[in-house]
Amino acid sequence: MKALSLTQPMAWAIFHGKDVENRPWNTYYRGPLLIHASKGFNREHYDWIAANENRLCCILPQPEALIHGALIGVVNLVRVMKKVDSTEPMFCHGVSIGDTARELEYLSEHDSAFCSYWYFGPFGFVLEGAREFRESIPYRGSLGLFDVPDNVVRFQLVSRIDTQKARLV
């Protein structure tokens, strides 16, 4: 199964409303994607989320409560948004996000979903259906998309699905 490693608190944020992961590179991969919480911590990202908790509708835990060096859940990578060049600023939710009017026109024609507080680009991996594992799985991450053997996560994926089915009954 493919995986992507993120520093904290962005790995945590995927399971608490973050619907886009920004990358400087593109991918043609679509499908299930394991989220790996790296050993790194980004104070700038932490402070940004903390300053925007109301807008983002999440409550950030203390840094020491965040998990590191482990697979923490799975999400579906459904598409990738790419910024285009222009000079006009674009506004999303009334806040300038540094995009352009040309980009807004392109996005509204091609993907009405793309007005996200989390989207900064240049490539935005659009994520849906985030499912956090009940227990993290210690695992060494890697740069870019990387492969994790299915047997490493099989139990968490199966138990998660069984739990969801049980709630529906």
Query: Could you tell me the two tokens for 23?
Result: 């990358």
Query: What is the three-class DSSP state of 130?
Result: strand
**Is it true that the peptide bond before 24 is cis, omega within 30 degrees of 0?**
no
- pLDDT at res. 11: 96
Q: Are 150 and 71 in contact (CB under 8 A)?
A: no
- Looking at residue 159, its pLDDT comes to 59
pLDDT score, position 58: 81
Write phi, then psi, for 117 (nearest 5 degrees): -60, -20
Domain boundaries, the chain: 2-83+114-168
CATH 2.30.130.30 assigned to 2-83+114-168 = yes
- Check residue 39 and give its pLDDT: 95
Tens digits of pLDDT across the chain (169 residues): 999 999 999 999 999 989 889 998 899 999 999 999 999 999 999 998 898 877 777 888 999 999 999 999 999 999 888 775 444 444 444 444 444 444 444 444 444 445 677 777 778 888 999 999 989 999 999 999 999 998 888 776 665 544 444 443 3
On whether the CB atoms of residues 118 and 134 are closer than 8 A, the answer is: no
Retrieve residue 159's tokens. Answer: 């138990």
> What pLDDT sits at residue 115?
63
